[in-house]
């Protein structure tokens, strides 16, 4: 029904354009019906409400812009927004304003605020559960009390889902590896562009948290850590596809940055509870990175060493906690270990034993083989 209403609007504008001699078909240029539909969609977009701008304001702004803009300008905009040159806009989707709502005490007004999709919310579910069960105890809250969960769930759920949505956007770039010529032309400029894009995408979330009185300097720093992680993830994973050398320093930095969302949620809890904040997808995988640095034979040993050092630090930190809190935390670790086995056989240490999988020494060959099996199955089906 909504699509039919939109089509009816376009048809009305097309009729108006024809009666006023504004149709492109009336001029000597080409394009015909496609050109008229584009112009009709443009006129519809122009009259949509936008903050305090009147129709006259928008007309003057567009007129002034068109005297300065050139086809080269449009190509630059196309590159900046990652739009494909042949993207279909016949439906007018790109010209339709996205209506987002920000709640004020008196009324709702159209503003730019962050929005999340259902898929991102679904992906965030397990992280949120683990965060609540592992961190609520540090905020004096009982995770088994529904009131404790639902009181803070809106902010926590929205924030984590929004970050998962940005994470999904970043993963779309992991398979796109510029060729040698493109890399030489773009280089750091392209990487900077991606970082700028992610920074702009996370700004609405920052604005929302600011409006809710939750933003702090430390929280903003952790959100920037997320941008750094996504940038580093692209750098490392694309380097693997290009068979380029990667540095252990970058891998270890990525490991630290990867858990930025837990730190964001924890800082939010300090704010929400009135405490001070002082107190095959080519995704990042530490074993892949270690294999690229140390080789497939030495990588498991180096990873085991790294894990051992991290566990020693955790053990040392836990001893600084109050005994009851330390006990609660380690009981949660034991629960998480059992849950991770999903009902499988439990053996070894109560907090789990590390099982480092077989290193894939030739990833390109592995992907080729798996891809061939997938294609065969598709044909059989």
How far is 156 from 272, CA to CA, in rounded Å? 10
Distance separating alpha carbons of residues 134 and 329, to the nearest angstrom: 7
pLDDT value at residue 161: 94
The encoded tokens of residue 374 equal: 């997938």
How much helix, strand and coil, in percent to the nearest 5, is found in the chain?
A: 65, 0, 30
pLDDT in tens, 28-56: 455 567 788 888 888 888 888 877 888 88
Question: Hey, which residues does 109 pair with through a beta bridge?
Answer: 102
Judge contact between 269 and 139, C-beta under 8 A.
Answer: yes
* 93: its two tokens: 């989707």
Tokens 């405490």 appear where? 275
Give the chain's mean pLDDT: 75
Q: Is the pLDDT of residue 89 over 50?
A: no
pLDDT of residue 127: 93
Dist CA 184 CA 250 (whole Å)? 22
Q: Which two tokens stand for residue 223?
A: 């959100």
**Maximum Cα interatomic distance, the chain, rounded to a whole number of Å:** 84
The pLDDT of residue 301 is 87
Give the lowest-confidence range in 21-35, 57-71, 87-101, 271-285.
87-101
Question: Which residue has 């080519």 as its token pair?
Answer: 282
369 versus 131: which is more confidently predicted?
131
207 φ/ψ angles, rounded to the nearest 5 degrees: -65, -40
Cα separation values, 247 from 13, 32, 179, 222, 326, Å? 59, 56, 21, 23, 36
The confidence score (pLDDT) of residue 268 equals: 95
Give tens-digit pLDDT for 329-346: 778 877 776 665 444 444
Closest C-alpha to 114, from 45, 211, 194: 211
- Higher pLDDT: 95 or 271? It is 271
Mean pLDDT, rounded, for 164-172? 84
Which residues does 23 contact at the CB level (< 8 Å), separation at least 6? 14, 17, 36, 39
Position 371 scores a pLDDT of 60
319: left (phi over 0), alpha (psi -120 to 50) or beta: alpha
Q: Indicate the domain borders of the chain.
A: 2-24+33-97, 118-299+316-334+359-364
**Which residue do the tokens 């939750």 mark?**
214
Q: For residue 66, what pLDDT is reported?
A: 85
Q: For residue range 172-226, what is the model confidence (pLDDT) as tens digits?
A: 777 655 555 444 434 444 454 466 677 888 888 998 898 888 998 889 999 999 9
**Predicted confidence (pLDDT) per residue in 252-272, tens digit:** 999 889 999 999 999 999 889
Percent above pLDDT 90 for the chain: 17
What pLDDT score was predicted for residue 25? Answer: 58
Q: Give me the phi and psi of 110, to 5 degrees please.
A: -75, 120
Tell me how far CA of residue 341 lies from CA of 150, 347, 354, in angstroms.
28, 10, 12
82 — phi, psi (to 5°)?
Answer: 60, 35
CA distance 261 to 160: 7
The two tokens of residue 189 are: 């400029």
Report the candidate in 168, 165, 124 with the shortest Cα–Cα distance to residue 265: 124
In whole angstroms, give the CA distance from residue 203 to residue 213. Answer: 15
* Residue 69 scores a pLDDT above 80: yes
**Of 154, 150, 156, 148, nearest to 131 (Cα)?**
156
């Amino acid at each position: 029904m909504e699509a039919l209403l939109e089509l009816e609007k376009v048809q009305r504008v097309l009729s108006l354009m024809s009666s006023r001699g504004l149709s492109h078909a009336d001029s000597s240029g080409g394009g015909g019906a496609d050109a008229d539909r584009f112009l009709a969609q443009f006129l519809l977009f122009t009259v949509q409400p936008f903050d305090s701008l009147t129709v006259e304001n928008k007309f003057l702004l567009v007129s002034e812009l068109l005297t300065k803009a050139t086809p080269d300008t449009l190509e630059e905009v196309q590159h900046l927004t990652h739009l494909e040159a042949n993207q279909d806009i016949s439906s007018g989707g790109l010209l339709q304003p996205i209506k987002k709502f920000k709640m004020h005490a008196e009324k709702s007004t159209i503003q730019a605020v962050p929005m999340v999709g259902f898929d991102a919310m679904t992906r965030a579910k397990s992280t949120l559960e683990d965060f609540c069960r592992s961190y609520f105890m540090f905020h004096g809250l009982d995770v088994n009390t529904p009131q404790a969960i639902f009181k803070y769930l809106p902010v926590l759920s929205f924030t984590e889902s929004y970050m998962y949505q940005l994470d999904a956007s970043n993963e779309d770039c992991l398979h796109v590896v510029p060729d040698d010529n493109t890399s030489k032309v773009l280089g750091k400029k392209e990487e900077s562009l991606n970082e700028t894009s992610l920074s702009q995408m996370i700004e609405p979330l920052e604005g929302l948290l600011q409006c809710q009185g939750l933003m702090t300097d430390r929280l903003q720093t952790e959100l920037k850590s997320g941008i750094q992680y996504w940038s580093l993830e692209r750098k490392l994973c694309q380097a693997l596809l290009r068979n380029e050398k990667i540095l252990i320093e970058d891998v270890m930095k990525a490991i630290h940055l990867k858990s930025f969302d837990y730190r964001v949620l924890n800082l939010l809890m300090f704010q929400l509870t009135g405490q001070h904040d002082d107190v095959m997808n080519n995704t990042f995988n530490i074993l892949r990175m270690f294999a690229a640095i140390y080789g497939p034979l030495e990588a498991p040993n180096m990873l085991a060493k790294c894990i051992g050092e991290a566990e020693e630090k955790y053990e040392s930190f836990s001893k600084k906690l109050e005994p009851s809190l330390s006990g609660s935390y380690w009981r949660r670790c034991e629960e998480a270990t059992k849950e991770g086995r999903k009902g499988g056989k439990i053996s070894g240490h109560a907090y789990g034993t590390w099982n480092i999988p077989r290193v894939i020494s030739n990833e390109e060959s592995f992907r080729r083989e798996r891809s061939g099996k997938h294609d065969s199955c598709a044909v059989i089906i």
